[in-house]
Chain A
Amino acid sequence: MTRMAFESSSLSQIRFSRRSACGSLLALAAWPAAAQFRVEISGVGATQLPIAIVRFRDEDKTNQSPSAIIRADLERSGAFRIVDTGQASFDEASRPDMAQWRGRTADALVGGSVTRLADGRYDIRFKLWDVVKGSELGGQSNAVETPELRLAAHRIADFIYEKLTGEKGVFSTRIAYVTKSGSRYTLRVADADGENGQVALNSGQPIISPAWSPNGKELAYVSFERQKAVVFVHTVATGERRAIADFRGSNSAPAWAPDGERLAVTLSRDGGSQLFSIGRNGGDPRRLATSPAIDTEAEYSADGRFIYFTSDRGGSPQIYRMAPGGGGAERVTFSGAYNISPTVSPDGRTLAYVTRAGNAFRLVVLDLATPGAQPLPITDTSDDEHPSFAPNGRLLIYATRAGGRSVLMTTTLDGKIKARLPSQTADLREPVWGPYGR
């Protein structure tokens, strides 16, 4: 990456490129994945690497379009500008004309192929070229079952992202969220691009606050199926589930400790909404703090040094943090009279949360590493909720309201690149981004 030339694209160039790419994608029904995306680019001077990803040879013989999936992944990351490739298609063994691709302003180029194997699987291959230097940067071959073709494409996007930015990609991770359709609530697990959604739980009662275990195998959440808020832990692969907090009153806001052995929860069993720590099987509840106020929405920092949480102990809801064993709390937010739903980046440097300004509830980010830093709004919507960091800390997923419905968006931390995840008719809420590995 460091040896590759960056290009600081002007807004008009980005817009033009996006529009022409969109037009061609929408015209081609064979590329359904990318066609469902609406990537919004705002702001000037986003530093993006221009990359061309041609159609893979024989990809139209599958029910997926790996090249379109990779393009959409990389574009959504905000780190890349997608160069229009028209009808170009070649495979990993080709020797593309680098001068020609330089002329099309691409700094990197990807080609590949999909081949049906005798056992019914697909062999998906690709190669990544450095157009500026005219050299190969790597490639892979992977044999997968048909249902794993999307995942294979996401893994290629991860490879490209890491090769060119030096950071791990998050495209093969998973997200969880809740859909509401009429009076039906469904907890779903999907690919990070919102596709390939699978049902984890159907209920006639609300489900809120899903939280991934650190190993990505379990989801904790709050279900109202017992006519009150009860915290469950649910093994995604088997559907096995257990109530871990079902005390008198309400039980809510589960947050996994980084070791996966305990969770922070909000319990009202002793009066008020107070923070407790409880074992992953529901044993040994310990009170973390005692306040006459609401304490809730706990979230551990990745290094385990802090629990961030929302409290109105100062008269209005603000974000505080304390040691994981409890005790004295330190106020973190000072700007605004209503700050809720904290989530901290994996490196511990950035806090994202929702602030209320007038009647607008807006996602903001706060630089924790710079004393006195002011929160920066990164959306222009007014019903933002439930932000959650991607495991590489470069993207946030959140819920907001658009067109009278609740939708899920991803955004870069500067707010410049946003993508709306696909949805049909249901309201989508309570998104949470899973860890690496699946």
Chain B
Amino acid sequence: MKSLHRHLLAAVAAASLAACSSVPLDSQAPVESRTGATSTTGAGTGGGASSSQTRVAPVDVTGTSNVNFSNLPRVVYFDFDSYVVKDEYRPVIEVNAKALTTNRKMKMAVEGHTDDRGSSEYNLALGQRRAEAVVKSLTLLGADPTQLEAVSFGKERPAVQGETEEAWAKNRRAELASR
């Protein structure tokens, strides 16, 4: 029963993910504005050099607030200077792995992030390691490596602003984004 429920959940999630990638930007459900996340919710809509990249604009990289994905948890949090995917996030990995194995055409980017202490480049590498740890967890559960790309934004896209342990903990994360 539980297994069936999971399969249904995964199928629904997969359908919504697949739909998302073909939905034009302006017909997306409104993205909830989260305090302090202004630098990320503007992603893709900024002018200048990124204006030709509108195909990726529908992705809300802060993740959890997009109603299209309300059934699919998309964020894994990490301890300081750690890239171990903790047991409590195993359900996040499992449901996304199921979505990927159900729909082999689905592609995801796993985006690693860090808190804002230390250098841009070392944090970029830490975020990359987190993203790769999540990709490895997904492939161990059957996702194909070609469906996944591990990338990192380092400390450049904090989920929340602030110089507190609470803020730092929310920024040490990997997010799953459809591509």
Interface residues of A (CB under 8 A from B): 182-184, 201-206, 208-209, 222-229, 248-250, 252-253, 266, 268, 271-273, 294, 296-297, 310, 317, 338, 340-341, 354, 356, 359, 361, 383, 385-386, 429-430
Contact = CB atoms under 8 A, between A and B. Distances in A.
A296 B120 contact: no
Contacts of B118: 338, 340, 354, 356, 361, 385
B55 to A, nearest CB: 10
A169 to B, nearest CB: 29
Contacts of A341: 119, 121-122
B38 interface: yes
Interface of B: 38-40, 42-50, 53, 56, 59, 109, 117-122, 124-126, 128-129, 132, 149-154, 156-157
9 contacts: A182-B39, A183-B38, A204-B46, A206-B157, A225-B53, A228-B152, A229-B152, A253-B121, A385-B119
A340 B126 CA distance: 13
Given A202-B48, A204-B42, A250 B119 contact: no
A273 B125 contact: yes
Contact of A297 (B50, B109, B122): B122
A202 B48 CA distance: 6
A249 B59 CA distance: 18
A209 B39 contact: no
A268 B128 contact: yes
Contact of B121 (A182, A209, A227): A209
A201 B49 contact: yes
Given A271-B132, A340-B118, A356-B118, A204 B45 contact: yes
Contacts of B156: 206, 208, 224
Closest 10 CB pairs between A and B?
Answer: A204-B46, A273-B125, A206-B156, A183-B42, A228-B151, A202-B48, A294-B125, A208-B120, A225-B50, A341-B119
B17 to A, nearest CB: 17
Contacts of B124: 208, 222, 229, 250, 252-253, 266, 273, 296
Contacts of B117: 356, 359, 361, 383
Nearest to B157: A206
A248 B122 CA distance: 19
Contacts, number: 134
Given A183-B43, A228-B149, A341-B122, 15 more contacts: A203-B46, A203-B50, A208-B121, A227-B59, A250-B124, A252-B125, A266-B125, A268-B150, A271-B132, A273-B125, A294-B125, A296-B121, A340-B118, A341-B121, A354-B118
B129 A272 contact: yes
Contact of A317 (B38, B48, B109, B122): B122
A226 B153 contact: no
A248 B49 CA distance: 21
A356 B81 CA distance: 13
Contacts of A205: 43, 46, 49-50
Contacts of B152: 228-229, 250, 268
A356 B158 CA distance: 21
Choose among B44, B59, B121, B151 the residue with the greatest number of A CB atoms under 10 Å from its CB: B121
B63 to A, nearest CB: 14
Contacts of A266: 121, 124-125
Nearest to B151: A228
A386 B119 contact: yes
A310 B123 CA distance: 12
Nearest to B39: A183
Given A183-B46, A204-B47, A249 B128 contact: yes
A288 to B, nearest CB: 15
Contacts of B109: 227-228
Contacts of A294: 122, 125-126, 129
B120 A202 contact: no
